[in-house]
Amino acid sequence: MDHTSSTGQQAGQSGFDAMQHPQKPHREQSPRPDTIDSRVGLKQQFPDPEDQEATRRTTVDVVALHGLRAESPKTWIAWKDGKSAASGEVNWLRDREMLPAVIPQARILTYDWNASYAEDASGPLAGAPKGISDVTL
């Protein structure tokens, strides 16, 4: 015998228990730990890391950090005219007419990290530095 009330509740269920709860929104799975290591860390953007002489001439380091749910290099790229893809891309950390023009003596680096905020993203990253003194190229 079905013990469903006129409200559609099974006998013994409170109204709260019988309510349909929306599914949690789909969250992007965080990367597998073995794929994170290759993306985490410092990467030289300017001057070209292959140009050792230009790198030696730098006198200051600028480290750019992307935000949550972001990643390099997408964070640092914009449309040249600020409006459309047809104008082409500009990377404001690498392109000579952007940040390098303002701070010509700078070595510009990005520090890439697992910025996912998925439920399973917390936890230690193998190889990630513990403090600023551990961050080296």
Q: What sign does the CA torsion over 130, 131, 133, 137 have? A: positive
Q: What is the pLDDT of residues 26-69, one digit of tens each?
A: 434 444 444 445 667 788 989 999 999 999 999 999 988 876 66
Q: Write down the domain spans for the chain.
A: 39-115
What pLDDT sits at residue 51?
A: 96
Q: Is the pLDDT of residue 13 over 50?
A: no
Rounded to an integer, the average pLDDT of 100-112 is 92
Mean pLDDT score across all residues of the chain: 70
Q: Which ranges of 1-137 would DSSP assign to H, the alpha helix? A: 15-18, 33-36, 52-56, 99-102
Neighbours of 115 (CB within 10 A): 16
